[in-house]
């Protein structure tokens, strides 16, 4: 069965180029009406232009699809609300939200101005929060929604010179982890994509010989599936790039237990450190209460 989006309305932030453009074009090609959001600034978030979003809308319309352009900054709560309001005015509903907008201001933490840290967090993390906050009640009322966050290997594993970006990219995963639980009774699924693709944000970070094999349209199929009616998963982090797709999950080692009624010293932990950090038999948890219960086990023994 073909995965299509007929009758659905998708909002894609940062859709004027790269991954966002690929997502927007694909949704439109499969029947969705699309709100193409892009501030039109530089990679560092400076400047503003309507050209990027307008060109994507023109592409969609030239192919027979329906789309509108929006130029608001997602890092501004009023701008994020305006994006959703504008979408509702044009199409009457919001079914899909892909939080893709992002900027880079790379420097080592010692040399980074706090303003650059805050700006990157504002776009990647708070931008995802603001737009989702605006779309959430619409999805709740319709008892349907598909929300995708965009994380990065820099957030999941770390990358030199990207403390601001890495912090923001892991923050959206924490946001998803809680929001997935709140969305359950409303049939709203919340997932996260961890892409590796050749875009203007990564062209200086990835080997030139790999760029032609890391096309954004190899990430988009994973985003499209997570946004489809066929998808039933929520709270997943899916890696996608160069034809590779996998799941990432925060894991906890089996650990060890000391008698909680007796004193525990750092020397005792030092002696057992290899066992504490041994990930053999590690497991993941679906919610915080599951992990907390792991701590409670054995307390009464």
Pick the catalytic residue from 157, 165, 244, 245: 165
Mean confidence (pLDDT) of the chain: 94
pLDDT along the chain (301 residues), means of 10: 95 96 98 97 87 98 98 98 98 98 96 98 98 98 98 95 97 98 98 85 67 87 98 97 94 94 96 98 92 79 51
Structure token pair of residue 104? 């880079």
Q: How many CA atoms lie within 13 A of 291 on its CB side?
A: 12
CB proximity list for 182: less than 8 A, separation 6 or greater: none
Burial, 30: exposed, middle or buried (Cβ in 10 Å; 0-12, 13-18, 19+)? middle
Residue 199: its pLDDT value, please?
A: 67
* 219: nearest Cα among 16, 14, 1, 26: 26
Helix (H) or strand (E) holding 238: strand 237-241
Helix (H, G, I), strand (E, B) or coil at 244: strand
Domain residue ranges in the chain: 9-248, 251-301
In CATH terms, the superfamily for domain 9-248 is NAD(P)-binding Rossmann-like Domain (3.40.50.720)
- What CATH number belongs to 251-301? 1.10.287
Structure token pair of residue 45? 């978030």
| Percent of the chain residues past pLDDT 70, beyond the cut | 95
CA distance 294 to 252: 10
What Cα–Cα distance (Å) separates residue 217 from each residue in 31, 100, 160, 211, 212? 17, 14, 27, 12, 11
144 labelled catalytic: no
């Amino acid at each position: 069965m073909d995965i299509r989006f007929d009758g659905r309305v998708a909002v894609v932030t940062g859709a004027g180029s790269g991954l966002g453009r690929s997502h927007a074009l694909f949704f439109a090609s499969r029947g969705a009406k699309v709100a193409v959001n892009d501030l039109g600034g530089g990679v560092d978030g400076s400047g503003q232009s309507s050209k990027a979003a307008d060109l994507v809308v023109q592409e969609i319309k030239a192919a027979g699809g329906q789309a509108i352009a929006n130029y608001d900054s997602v890092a501004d709560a009023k701008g994020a609300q305006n994006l959703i309001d504008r979408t509702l005015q044009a199409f009457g509903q919001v079914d899909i939200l892909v939080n893709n907008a992002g900027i880079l201001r790379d420097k080592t933490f010692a040399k980074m101005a706090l303003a650059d840290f805050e700006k990157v967090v504002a776009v990647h993390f708070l931008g995802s929060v603001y737009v989702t906050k605006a779309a959430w009640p619409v999805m709740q009322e319709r008892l349907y929604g598909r929300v995708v966050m965009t994380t990065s290997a820099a957030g999941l594993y770390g990358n030199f010179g990207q403390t601001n970006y890495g912090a923001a990219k892991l923050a959206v995963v924490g946001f998803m982890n809680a929001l997935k639980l709140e969305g359950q009774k409303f049939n709203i699924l919340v997932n996260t994509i961890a892409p590796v693709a050749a875009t203007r944000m990564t062209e200086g970070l990835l080997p030139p010989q790999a760029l032609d094999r890391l096309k954004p349209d190899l990430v988009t199929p994973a985003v499209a599936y997570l946004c489809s009616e066929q998808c039933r998963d929520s709270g997943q982090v899916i890696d996608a790039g160069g034809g590779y797709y996998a799941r990432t999950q925060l894991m906890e080692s089996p650990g060890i237990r000391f008698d909680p009624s007796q004193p525990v010293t750092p020397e005792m932990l030092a002696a057992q450190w290899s066992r504490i950090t041994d990930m053999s038999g590690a497991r993941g948890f679906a919610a915080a209460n599951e992990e907390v219960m792991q701590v409670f086990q054995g307390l009464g023994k």
